[in-house]
Structure 1
Amino acid sequence: MNGLEARVASLEAYTDAIRSDVAAIKPDVKDSRERLVRIEERVSALPTKGYINTAVVGAITLIGAFIAFQAQIQAFFGTLPQ
């Protein structure tokens, strides 16, 4: 049992140091959780890949239709070139 008290005292001091380190980390973890929640809210509001693909394909189709039916559109509005 030689040195047992000294080793226990060392372990107690080490445990106290761990407690103080954990206490210092807790506010950072709480702040990180709050920031993560805000990030998740912002990300959930972003458009999805499917929405973006649909919008791009729709725009390309609309532009293609304008080009394909240009003469008919001009005739409808009475602006055919001379």
Structure 2
Amino acid sequence: MSNLIDFPNPPRGDVELPAPSDLRLRGGGGGPYDPGMEVQVARLGAQVEHMQTDMSEVKNELRSIDDRLRGVETGLATLAEKVTHLPSKSYIVTALILMLGVVGAMIGYAETIQQFLGQVPAP
């Protein structure tokens, strides 16, 4: 059974680590001390801190997007409610035809209406 661990290359290109063969640790028994390991652990710690900062920024952005989406949902619900109360095309067309019929009848029977109201004497 081997106690050797291979560390993968870092995901970011701005940090250079030694070759994987230099990163092997011997487990148990208090093997040789690797002075470069502290530097490597510090670099990994800095990368983790950077990732945590990035993740907190992503969480803040997601909260902001969530708040804006709630506002959009509310606006859409309000708009949908208002649209349900609008008159339909058939209602508008029927009302327009009815009004044109009433105006046409008033023009056609204008003299009779004036006589009925007493505006023009009867012939």
- Normalising by structure 1, we get a TM-score of 0.67
Offset at residue 44 of structure 1 (A): 1.3
Q: Percent identity?
A: 26
1:62 matched to 2:110: no
Offset at residue 72 of structure 1 (A): 4.6
Bigger CA drift: 8-17 or 63-72?
8-17
Aligned to 1:37: 77
- Normalising by structure 2, we get a TM-score of 0.49
Per the alignment, in what secondary structure is the counterpart of residue 98 of structure 2? helix
Offset at residue 21 of structure 1 (A): 0.4
Offset at residue 12 of structure 1 (A): 4.9
Distance in 1 separating the partners of 2:112 and 2:66: 70
- Number of residues paired by the alignment? 81
List gaps (5 residues or longer) in structure 2. Answer: 1-8, 18-43
Cα distance change of structure 1 residues 15 and 65 upon mapping to structure 2, 3 Å threshold: same
Map residues 4-19 of structure 1 onto 2, 5 A cutoff: 5=44, 10-19=50-59
1:24 matched to 2:55: no
List gaps (5 residues or longer) in structure 1. Answer: none
Map residues 43-54 of structure 1 onto 2, 5 A cutoff: 43-54=83-94
Following TM superposition, where does structure 1 have runs of at least 4 consecutive aligned residues deviating by more than 4 angstroms?
Answer: 4-12, 71-75
Q: CA RMSD in A?
A: 2.9
Offset at residue 48 of structure 1 (A): 2.0
Higher helix share: 1
Offset at residue 11 of structure 1 (A): 4.9
